[in-house]
Structure 1
Amino acid sequence: TAGAGTGAQGAAEAPGMHDTTLRQLERVQQVFPVSAVEAELSVWSREALASLVPWCEARGIGFFAAMPLGNGYLTGTLTPGEGFEPDDVRARHPRFTAEMMAANQPIVAGLRRVAARHGATPAQVALAWTLTRGRHVVALPGTKKERWALENASAAELALTERDLAEIAELPAAQGSWED
């Protein structure tokens, strides 16, 4: 989907695209210059790295990484089998079943190892990793609490080493799918 900023006289300056495909972006770009793209990107959802992130970088377009904390999973604060309130969207997502959360624990364990070396949290490591994907990448973690917002913001100061990045790159792919 697209959204647009407004110019001085109310005309759209350039659209931003959300949850889009590369094909859609290329079609829109032919008609109207795209200013930004938003799509999911996190340690456990790296699909955007194959096409969207490099496409944006090559064109000087900002990439907004949605759900860089995997809807809270990558914070390391969720317990498999703990469950969610019925109105929590995660209660209905296949990646948040007790079975899938348990299967994805090696990802969180890897983030914890890196975090321990830096005196950081898994969330800060996940966000710092996202920011290393390019100067044009901005992480958009959602939060409802000021303390998490402050912790998330401090991730920008965390300098991951080559060892850290290699270790994160070796983490297993996430199990489960948002579409199941």
Structure 2
Amino acid sequence: MENRLPKRKLGSQGLEVSALGLGTMMMPDNEESVYTIHGALDLGVTMFDTADIYGEKFMEGKFGGNERTVGRALKGRRDQAVIATKFGITGVDMKAHGHPAYVKKSVDASLLNLGVDYIDLYYQHRIDPNTPIEETVGAVAELVQEGKIRYIGLSEASPDQIRRAHAVHPLTAVETEYSLWSREVEDEVLPVLHELGIGFVPYSPLGRGFLTGQIRTFDDLPEDDYRRFFPRFQGENFSKNLEVVALIEKFAASKGCKPSQLALAWLLAQGEQIVPIPGTKRLDRVQENLGALEVTLSAEELAEIERISPQGVAAGERYPNFQQS
């Protein structure tokens, strides 16, 4: 694969990134992660997604580990990368926080963790129900004026929240789960983004790994794997979702591609403003995912995928009850 990947524009403020980015949430702080990020850069990936809460020490109440890993990997290659990070989830209790003073404290911590002078794309990770979004985005807009960040984003925001935030300062991107088995954004969120000229960044575009076809039984998940707590990976839901994956695998085989590549190609076909960020720790998986950029889907093939995996096909909720709010 050539180093020059196709580019896509996120939003209307000038941010251009590779058509596929790299989610780094699950990367441990080790040399393999650095090797994978370097390899992704060499392949032409330019967008790297992290958050201040990601990292191996999260459950111990220690934050910023993943940002430090990403920063270490990008040292000396900062000009090749678009760094996206997030603020707004505090503590292991997963509380959303958006007070202006907290925003300014958070960005300084992330800049330090990443070892950079500015952040390209800064998301509010979850919307604080106790702070008007206008106040939060107003504080983030001040960071743009100060040169600490370049572009503003929201994660898991409603259409009303998107409109209110965009009225304060133009948003560049919204990041939300979106894949062949998580299509809730199609009803209201995507139309609003299209109307306002805001880019869309799907996280978990491979259904937390389920759509790769690599997970066959519940025991394929390591004992400490967080996905064991997710409804779609449990009991009868697991069995029903395996049936959907089998159909996707069969269709992918007819196309001569991997199911993961088919799932990503389908996402890319949903709009030019969409930039998925599949996450992985391994460079071979990055290479496999980039193969999706070579998969073209006709109108007839898209219709067949719609038949196989219509909206609402997945059995089970996206998150466990304790994380739903």
TM-score (structure 1 length as normaliser): 0.91
Structure showing greater radius of gyration is 2
Matches within 5 A, 1:139-178: 139-172=276-309, 173-178=313-318
Gaps of 5+ in 1: none
Residue type of the alignment partner of 2:203:
A
Q: Which residue in the other structure is 1:137 paired with?
A: 274
Question: Which of 46, 54, 57 is matched with 2:183 structurally?
Answer: 46
Distance, in Å, in 2 between the alignment partners of 1:159 and 1:76 is 20
Matches within 5 A, 1:32-111: 32-111=169-248
Aligned positions, number: 180
Gaps of 5+ in 2: 1-87, 89-122, 125-139
* Identical residues among aligned pairs (%): 36
The structural deviation recorded for 1:137 is: 0.5
Q: Which deviations, in whole Å up to 9, do the C-alpha atoms of 1:75-94 show, x marking residues without a partner?
A: 01101332522331101111
The structural deviation recorded for 1:63 is: 0.3
Residue type of the alignment partner of 1:134:
G
In 2, are the aligned partners of 1:16 and 1:37 still within 8 Å (CA)? yes
Residue type of the alignment partner of 1:82:
D
Q: Which deviations, in whole Å up to 9, do the C-alpha atoms of 1:6-53 show, x marking residues without a partner?
A: 647426554201111111111111211111100011000001111212
Deviates more, 1:109-118 or 1:34-43: 109-118
- CA RMSD in angstroms, aligned pairs only: 2.0
In 1, are the aligned partners of 2:179 and 2:263 still within 8 Å (CA)? yes
Residue type of the alignment partner of 1:43:
L
SS at match of 2:218: coil
Residue type of the alignment partner of 2:316:
G
Quickly say closer, same or farther: Cα 1:10–1:135, change in 2 above 3 A: same
Quickly say closer, same or farther: Cα 1:106–1:167, change in 2 above 3 A: farther
Residue type of the alignment partner of 1:138:
V
In 2, are the aligned partners of 1:94 and 1:176 still within 8 Å (CA)? yes
Distance, in Å, in 1 between the alignment partners of 2:227 and 2:292 is 24
In 2, are the aligned partners of 1:94 and 1:178 still within 8 Å (CA)? yes
Residue type of the alignment partner of 1:106:
E
Residue type of the alignment partner of 2:182:
S
In 2, are the aligned partners of 1:57 and 1:134 still within 8 Å (CA)? no
Deviates more, 1:71-80 or 1:2-11: 2-11
Distance, in Å, in 2 between the alignment partners of 1:65 and 1:58 is 18
In 2, are the aligned partners of 1:83 and 1:91 still within 8 Å (CA)? no
Q: Which residue in the other structure is 2:264 paired with?
A: 127
Distance, in Å, in 1 between the alignment partners of 2:300 and 2:243 is 18
In 1, are the aligned partners of 2:260 and 2:289 still within 8 Å (CA)? yes
- The answer to whether 1:114 aligns with 2:254 is no
Residue type of the alignment partner of 2:304:
E
In 2, are the aligned partners of 1:106 and 1:171 still within 8 Å (CA)? no
Quickly say closer, same or farther: Cα 1:147–1:12, change in 2 above 3 A: closer
Residue type of the alignment partner of 1:25:
I
In 1, are the aligned partners of 2:280 and 2:286 still within 8 Å (CA)? yes
Distance, in Å, in 1 between the alignment partners of 2:193 and 2:243 is 31
TM-score (structure 2 length as normaliser): 0.52
Distance, in Å, in 1 between the alignment partners of 2:274 and 2:209 is 20
Residue type of the alignment partner of 2:194:
E
SS at match of 1:64: strand
Residue type of the alignment partner of 1:51:
E
